Structure 1
Amino acid sequence: MKNKIYENHLKEIMRERPVFGVTIYSGCPQFIELLGYAGFDFAFIDAEHCPWETTGLHEAVLAARSVGISPLVRVTSPDMIEIRKALEMGAEGVIVPHVRTVEEMEICVKGAKFPPIGRRGFDVNVRAAQYGFDLGGVEFYEEANRTELVIPMAEDFEFTDQLDEMMSVQGIDAINFGPADFSMSLNCKSNTSGENSFYDLNDSPADVAMKEIIAKARSKEIGVMAPAVPPTYENAKKLIDKGVNMVIMGNDLGNYAAALKTIRDETLAKFK
């Protein structure tokens, strides 16, 4: 019998409605716990841009599990060992950055899924399998294959240049579209200006690419993740109306900074 703290439910929820999360850059488990108390569905735990080693995410994963939200770990690259280790420590899914080739797309699946879907190394002496305590090997790998998410990132023009081939890889659960890196890979200028210009999804090249990905994903029952920038209701609704069903509502540092700016401008400035 699997402990409820390690039950995976995100795929089930996604069948009923869009899901919402926040990216965690700070390395602060308390911020992850707060997401659970606030009613979010997942924590996007970033090991790519942060000084976190993929093997050092134990406390972050446990923080998410403790409040009943899904820990999704972004590893540093399409690497089978990193992907497996993130899942073994209890992540409900892996997000893999800069997937540019069909071979890298296949690596995402091979590292995350057990045979016959992938080639993930098997061991029950890990947190995801309750260290083998009352959870049989067959039950473990069947449940892992069924419920854990493999989420490659489409954030380079190479992904969309061979979109049909990329999306034909079996075992993918969702695509995380990164508009900023995608725009930069094209070296294209945004239709807007300011700090959020690279996240422009208003008829920009990135917007066109995301719509193409959504169309392909929808026909294969694959989810699509994208950021609402800034994280407002209006921006989230625009994404959902386009077909996105995994919405990133900012990040811990950005949201914290926005709250501090509000306090500064609305309160502190009146006393200085």
Structure 2
Amino acid sequence: MSNLLREKINKNEKILGTFFELGSMSVVECLGQTGLDFIIIDNEHGPFEPESSMDYMRACDSVGLVPLVRVREVSRPAILKPLDIGAKGLIVPCIETVEQAKKVVEYGKFSPIGKRGFCPSRKDYWGYSHPQGQPIEVGMQKENEDTLIILQCETVGCLENIETIVSMDGVDGIFIGPFDLSISMGIPGQFDNPEFLKAVERILAACKKYNKISSVFTGRFDDIDKYYKQGFDIVTYSLDANILVDGFKNIVDKAKGE
């Protein structure tokens, strides 16, 4: 199964998604009617386990959304399981060191790039999405190309090593987590601080230099266009829960004249 997100990036389309926190297949189906490109099923801060995550991926498939998963930690099970059940890419949080980045690639990419465990699974319809008789290494190569491994830069450690990390074979891109990055830098929430802006530019420049995907989160609607113009490939806007509350709050305030 090809990765539509990769295809859209290659066409230089504006890519927009949101974090999925509410935990309902119906919500996924609703989000699929909006024109969003992807959702991030949040296994880090959300309450989801593999079984429920797989259901949300199925709902994504039915409405044309690309399912990404933010994993809970850098470990083989946390990385392998979402990929086996059909995630098109992973957002890997809290990267601090080059060694951690190497481990993510080892767990998330097949040989010769990494050491991902091989097993027919939902990702390839238990092997039946490939032509019968196709050599195993051909399928592994396609999985490596289609599976996005995107590391979250949200620590000073990752920032200090960003060029080395981004240059690694198997790292497909970087996702900037602005809240935790600013906290790690000692300037929590100061997104207009010159030091924070310099950090964002450094990360973006590294991605451009090595032709890797650049992605950023924002909770501010006005920042979406700003980040596109700045050169980011992907913008993740807010959380489904926050958008739901803000939408209804706006309706209630207007209806009641408040």
Q: TM-score, normalised by structure 1?
A: 0.88
Q: Is 1:208 matched up with 2:207?
A: no
1:244 maps to which of 207, 210, 232: 232
Give structure 1 stretches of 5+ with no counterpart.
Answer: 1-5, 190-197
Of all paired residues, the percent bearing the same amino acid is 28
**Aligned twin of 2:243:** 255
Q: Give the Cα–Cα distance (whole angstroms) in 2 for the partners of residues 223 and 176 of structure 1.
A: 8
AA at the equivalent of 2:173: A
Give the superposition deviation at 1:205. 2.7
Give structure 2 stretches of 5+ with no counterpart.
Answer: none
SS in 1 for 2:23: coil
- Could you give the per-residue CA deviations for residues 57-77 of structure 1, whole angstroms, max 9, x where no partner exists? 111111111111210000101
Q: Is 1:34 matched up with 2:30?
A: yes
AA at the equivalent of 2:244: Y
1:57 maps to which of 29, 53, 58: 53
- Could you give the per-residue CA deviations for residues 170-224 of structure 1, whole angstroms, max 9, x where no partner exists? 11111000110011112225xxxxxxxx2x5434432211110110110111011
Q: Give the Cα–Cα distance (whole angstroms) in 2 for the partners of residues 73 and 219 of structure 1.
A: 26
Whether the aligned pair in 2 keeps the contact of 1:228 and 1:250 (CA below 8 Å) is yes
AA at the equivalent of 1:87: L
Q: Give the Cα–Cα distance (whole angstroms) in 1 for the partners of residues 164 and 142 of structure 2.
A: 28
- Could you give the per-residue CA deviations for residues 90-145 of structure 1, whole angstroms, max 9, x where no partner exists? 01001100011101111111111100011100011x10021122524344312111
Q: Map of 1:50-199 to 2, 5 A cutoff?
A: 50-54=46-50, 56-124=52-120, 126-133=121-128, 135=130, 136=134, 137-189=136-188, 198=189
CA RMSD of superposed structures (Å): 1.7
Count of aligned pairs:
253
- Could you give the per-residue CA deviations for residues 38-64 of structure 1, whole angstroms, max 9, x where no partner exists? 111111111100111245411111111
Whether the aligned pair in 2 keeps the contact of 1:75 and 1:96 (CA below 8 Å) is yes
Whether the aligned pair in 2 keeps the contact of 1:54 and 1:82 (CA below 8 Å) is no
